[in-house]
Each structure stands twice: as structure tokens, then as C-alpha cells.
Structure 1
Amino acid sequence: MAKKIIIAGGGTGGHIFPAIAIANALKAQSPGIEIRFIGAKGKMEMEKVPRAGYQIDGLDIAGFNRSSILKNLGLPFKLFKSFMQVKKIVNAFEPDAVIGVGGYSSFPVLRYAQGKGIPTFIHESNSFAGKSNILLGKKATAVFVASEGMEQFFPAGKIQITGNPVRKEIVKAVGEREEAVKHFGLDPSKTILLAVGGSLGARSINELIAAHVHELAQHNIELIWQTGTNGAESYKHRGQPFSNVWVDSFIYEMDKAYAAADIVVSRAGAMSVAELCVAGKPVIFVPYPHAAEDHQTVNAQYLADRKAALLVKDADIRAKLFPEILRLANDASLRTSLKEHIRPLAVTNADDIIAAEILKQIR
């Protein structure tokens, strides 16, 4: 009889895309498997998961709002309602296992599954685990992590170091530069800069790009600019008049963007780092300075120490980022060196390892 699996979580691409990669690997290894996602209503998983071909149920749930205490008054009610929704979904679907990838919706789903004795699995992409995953890890069947040293968050016997799952299309996209550049309507004979700040956006990166976008053409640089959702319209308005600029709030075919890029400017979230290692691109990381325990700086510094990436601190972005972009654009030997050092850090089969272990546990 075909197995059934629920995958819960989302909120950002760093949670959603590994979840979809795991789902695809499960289907490849067990073609008859039934997979259902659970996310948070109003979050990006409600769009991205159906685009990937999977059914998703949305919960009425939200996180704690640190900027407005009044907005948290309805939180207990939303949490109770989400648990009732989870109970109904799980009891109707009767999963053989539940996988949590982080985000608001993962906690009530895994907590309920653990109460019913259903095997639960956690994927923690970051070097600093989230509070929900730490609590859930105590009763999880296994915890899949990207790096060593996670015993401070999870029971040592449950940890498996797998790396972070990267979408297969990104793994396969290496070497398709000219066709990928034309996909964005740009000139393959020019240097292609890819600027990404995550699915929600990175204000400091976007503001820096907006301030210098008019200068790129004189340096023979073409730009693929993912602004993220926050402030997208003003950034699109800024970039669209220039023929050497492709700009939008989101890049749906990220494999083509990586394949096209000669230089990348990016935040240093765990999934961005994993994808850029696989893509093997010269990258300037600008870590988000307010991430828990400053883990994005830790991620970026790990690569910078190995001469696999450049690092510009967020506080230095106005003074240093554009000169670093120009330096990298004009120094072919530096680009080659960065590519040679970043490629050995790539993990291309984490999704397959995770899927195989889950199927082994529930066989």
C-alpha cells in the first residue's frame, strides 16, 4: 500500500524550496507515494507549492509580532484554531510520517503528529536552529542538518548531517549560460550581474542597486535583479527604463538566473549558500545582520575563509559593495579562483539522502 507523507512549513524560499526538493526525491524513489503540504495562509508557500504540482492546506496561524504587542492579542485564538485544523487534516489523511522544514505552520503539525505517535522528521537548514525545531527535535525520529556542531540543539543520536537539499534544476543548469542570458532578454557578450536578497527582499542590497543601476551600462554590466516582495514596485520602476536590466519581485526559473550569472550579490541564508555552491558562481555575500546569532555572517565567513566567496558587511554596503562588484567584473582571474574554491563545497544529493532515510524508517 502506498505511503502517505505530510510536509509542513514555509514562510520563505529557504524553507519552501528544500521541502519541494525533498518531496520530488520521495516521489522519485517511491512513485506511488502520496504527499500533502501544510502551510500558513497568506504566505508564499500557498502559491509556490501548487506551482510545483502538490496540494497544500493553509492554516490560520501567525508568528509573534515583535513590533506591535496589540497585533498579538489574537495569537492564542489563531494557535488554537490552527491545532483544530491540523487535527482535522491529519486524521483525514492518516500520514505514515510528517516532515517539518521550519516556519510557523510546522510546529502545530509536528506537535500533533508526535502526540499521535506518527514518525516525525525535521530538516534544519541553518547553523543556528529555530526554537520550534529545538522543541520538536526531542521527540523527532530523525533530524537532518546541514553542518556539524548541532548537538547543542538536538539529541546527538537523532542528528544526520546531510547538507541542504538543492533543486535538481539548479544542479543541472550549470553550463547553459548563453541560452539563460537570452531568457532574460540580456546580452551574453556582457558581464551578467545577479542581485538577489531572498524571496522577501533585502532593503540594503536593493537600495544600493537602485542607487547605481544607471552606472552599470558604462561598465558593460547587465543586471538580473530579484527585488523580493517588500518595496518591489518602486524598485521595478527604478530598473525598468534601462535596457540592460531585468527586474522583478521574484525569479521563478532560478536555475536560469544562476546559469546566466557571471557575478552574484546575495544574502547568506543557508539555502542561498547551498545553491550558490552548487551553481559554482563568484559571489559577494552581504549577510543579513539581524539573523539569529548572526548566523548569516557565520555562513558567509566560512566561505570567505576558504577563498570561495567575498564578504561585505551590511553596515559597509554603501561604501564597499559597488566597488567590489566592479573589481570582480574586471578581474577574470579572481572570478576563476572563486569558482574553483566554491565548487568543492557543493552538496548535490541531500534531497535523495533525506528521502531514502525517511522511506527506510517508515517501510
Structure 2
Amino acid sequence: MSSKTKTYKIILSGGGTGGHIYPAIAIANELKIRFPKSEFLFVGAKDRMEMEKVPQAGYAIKGLWISGVQRKLTLKNLSFPFKLMSSLFKARQIVRSFKPDVVVGTGGFASGPLLQVATSIGIPTLIQEQNSYPGITNKLLAKKVNKICVAYDNLERFFPKDKIIKTGNPVRQGLLNIESKTVEAKNKFNLKAGKHTLLVLGGSLGARRVNELIEKELDFLDTQNVQVIWQCGKLYYQQYRIYNNTKHVQVYEFLNDIDLAYAAADVVISRAGASSVSELCIVGKPTIFIPSPNVAEDHQTKNAMAIVGNDAALLIKEGDLEVDFENKFSQLIASPDRQKELGDNIKKMALVNATKDIADEVEKLLNLN
């Protein structure tokens, strides 16, 4: 029987941020090409962005009542045990009803209960860890799942060595050939010839400190002959939209044509979430990382340092922005040689076959049945 006619039931779980959602969608898309007659179901957290983004990608999704434990003592933590019990009960119902052949987790709150239930009844499972420092959910699941696909070296500290496969992180397929899209990108964003183009990315929801920096530095950027494509995020768009089309600035809540935004950019300022780092390696653009310090185990700084250590990007910590930003940015924008060096070096770190390699591992698990 050819793979095109095989039918499987596949659950993918992950969410909370685009960094967990888009890899799951990319894996599903690849598996759908291989097994077009198969049935797919996503499981996410209620009220999080996956409940919107997954249906937009054409997949069914069910939501669990789950959220993370707050690191500070808050009233929200009091509800966590109840949410966990509720989510385990609902996850068990979903698994029994859907009867999946394999379950794939890409991190985030919802993947914990679902993978816990799946492993407890012997369903083949795979987790995909995007970061150089794993989150608590995947660390807890590591001993129970069959395979762990990772994007960085030296994760034997956290996971059983015999389960680890280094694949890289799945990225949106449209990013693989952005060099051919430069003219289209410049037309799309109506960019001025002779100006440097800066792309600012703070994640799908937005990054408060990055947005504050860009607002404060708009006059400085203007003096550097820079035009700005600024994705400020859903939470901040109403606040920063007033700068749209002033001082050669374009403000976006979310960039749906991210491939064209990358193609247009000469330099990128970005957070250092795992998906962002993987995308920037593939597009090969000189990048200044401003990691979020407000994430578990400071994993964004660790992600960025894995790139910076190879002289493939610059890093400015939030606390150093006032002192370092203008100096580092002006040096970079004034040096085409340094821009090319960083772009070439970061591109060497790309793992372009990640989605296919992860799908290969899922396929092996399907063949266990």
C-alpha cells in the first residue's frame, strides 16, 4: 500500500505563542502531503492564539482549560491544580474518542496533559523541542515519549540521549527562497531606493521593551537614512499605529507576508524565540537580538548566545539598550561588509530540512502500529 492511500489519525498539540503553533502546523502540512487521506486534530489551550491560527490553516482544533504556573505568587496559581485536572480529563476524552495513531507535541501548556495521557496508554509519541533550554513541560515528558526532535546541540543534559534526533525547527516554507522575492518585496512595502531597510519583530503578541525602544529611536533611525517595517504586535498596535507613514515608518499588528518582509530587510531587530531564531538562520539576514528576560529559564538569551557565539548575530540585553543601541546599530548599518559577514555566518547555521526530518521520525512511529 502506498503512503498516499494510507489513512492515519494524527494529533498535534502545542500553542500559547506562534513559536509553538507554526512548527505544529508545518509538521501537519508535511504529513498531509505524505498521507492526504489521513485525519488531523490539533489540541490547544482555550483563549490562546492557536484557537484562531490553526483553523485559519485549515485544521480542526479542540481547546483545554489550561495555563502555565506563574513564577510569582498570584491568585492564578491557585486555579492551576483544577485546570490541570480538568485538562487531563478532557485530554483523556479526546484521545479515547479520536483514537490517534501518533501524537506530536511542540511545547506549550496544552501539550503536557495530552502527551501525558497518550504515553500512559501506549500511543507512540514525539515531542519537538525548539529551544536551547527546554521548557518544563518537555523536560517532564522526556522519559515517557518515544522520540525527541531538537534544534540545538548538548541537550543530553535534559533528555535521554538515545531518544534525541537533531532536526532543527520547522519554519514556514515560503522562507526558503526569499532571494528571488526582493523586487516583489520592495514593491509590496513601497520602499524608497537608497535607504536602508530595518525590519523589527517582537513576536506575534508584541514586545513592550522593543516597541518602546523603536518609538524612542525613530528620530535617530531617520538620521541613519533608515526606513522601518515594524511589527509591533497585537497587544500594542493601537498604541503605535500613530507612527504609520511618518519618518518612513510602516507599523503592522502582524506581518502575514513575513517572507516579503524578510526579503525587503537589510537588517533585522528581533526577540530570540526559537522559531524566530530558526527563521533568521534560514533567511540569512544580519540580526540584532534583544532577548526577552521574562521567559522561563531565560531561554531566549541562551538561544541568542548559541548564534552570537558563532559570530552570526549581535545581542543587546534589555538593560543595556540605553547605552549600547545607537552605537551598535550605527556601526552595523554603516558597514556592508559586517552585514554580509553576519548574514553569511547565520545562514551557515540553518537546518533547512527540519520539517521533512521531523515528519520522517513521525512516519517511523506510524509504522510501529
**Same fold by TM (over 0.5)?**
yes
Quote the RMSD (CA, aligned, Å).
1.7
Structure 1 counterpart of 2:251, one-letter code: V
Q: What residue is the counterpart of 2:172 in the other structure?
A: 167
How far apart, in 2, do the equivalents of 1:311 and 1:325 lie? 11
Q: What residue is the counterpart of 1:305 in the other structure?
A: 309
Q: What residue is the counterpart of 1:328 in the other structure?
A: 332
How far apart, in 2, do the equivalents of 1:111 and 1:298 lie? 27
CA deviation digits over 1:36-93, x for unaligned, max 9?
1110111111111112121111112122234452223332222222222222222221
Q: What residue is the counterpart of 2:30 in the other structure?
A: 25
Are 1:125 and 2:130 matched, yes or no? yes
Q: How many Å apart are 1:109 and its aligned residue?
A: 0.5
Aligned length: 362
Are 1:317 and 2:321 matched, yes or no? yes
Superposition TM-score, scaled by structure 2 size: 0.93
Q: How many Å apart are 1:243 and its aligned residue?
A: 5.9
How far apart, in 1, do the equivalents of 2:215 and 2:340 lie? 28
Q: 1:92 aligns with which of 90, 97, 105?
A: 97
Partners of 1:214 and 1:242 within 8 A in 2: no
Q: What residue is the counterpart of 1:193 in the other structure?
A: 198
Q: What residue is the counterpart of 1:353 in the other structure?
A: 357
Q: What residue is the counterpart of 1:255 in the other structure?
A: 259
Q: How many Å apart are 1:319 and its aligned residue?
A: 2.1
Q: 1:106 aligns with which of 111, 117, 120?
A: 111
How far apart, in 2, do the equivalents of 1:133 and 1:357 lie? 17
Partners of 2:22 and 2:171 within 8 A in 1: yes
Unaligned runs of 5+ in 1: none
Q: How many Å apart are 1:228 and its aligned residue?
A: 2.0
Helix, strand or coil at the partner of 2:347: helix
How far apart, in 2, do the equivalents of 1:175 and 1:106 lie? 37
How far apart, in 2, do the equivalents of 1:313 and 1:74 lie? 34
Q: How many Å apart are 1:101 and its aligned residue?
A: 0.6
Structure 2 counterpart of 1:194, one-letter code: L
Deviates more, 1:223-232 or 1:280-289: 223-232
Q: How many Å apart are 1:178 and its aligned residue?
A: 2.4
Q: What residue is the counterpart of 1:116 in the other structure?
A: 121
Are 1:183 and 2:184 matched, yes or no? no
Partners of 1:138 and 1:155 within 8 A in 2: yes
How far apart, in 1, do the equivalents of 2:144 and 2:73 lie? 33
How far apart, in 1, do the equivalents of 2:183 and 2:333 lie? 17
Partners of 2:102 and 2:365 within 8 A in 1: no
How far apart, in 1, do the equivalents of 2:261 and 2:337 lie? 22
Q: 2:215 aligns with which of 210, 215, 218?
A: 210
Helix, strand or coil at the partner of 1:10: coil
How far apart, in 2, do the equivalents of 1:175 and 1:189 lie? 20
How far apart, in 1, do the equivalents of 2:327 and 2:26 lie? 36
CA deviation digits over 1:100-154, x for unaligned, max 9?
1111100111111111211111000111111111111111010111112111211
How far apart, in 1, do the equivalents of 2:354 and 2:321 lie? 33
Are 1:282 and 2:293 matched, yes or no? no
Structure 1 counterpart of 2:150, one-letter code: V
How far apart, in 2, do the equivalents of 1:315 and 1:70 lie? 29
Structure 1 counterpart of 2:28, one-letter code: A
How far apart, in 2, do the equivalents of 1:114 and 1:280 lie? 38
Partners of 1:204 and 1:317 within 8 A in 2: no
Q: How many Å apart are 1:313 and its aligned residue?
A: 1.9
Q: 1:3 aligns with which of 5, 8, 17?
A: 8
Deviates more, 1:209-218 or 1:89-98: 209-218
Q: What residue is the counterpart of 1:70 in the other structure?
A: 75
How far apart, in 2, do the equivalents of 1:60 and 1:294 lie? 26
Unaligned runs of 5+ in 2: 1-5
Q: 1:337 aligns with which of 335, 341, 351?
A: 341
Superposition TM-score, scaled by structure 1 size: 0.94
Q: What residue is the counterpart of 1:273 in the other structure?
A: 277
CA deviation digits over 1:226-247, x for unaligned, max 9?
112333321223x225162111
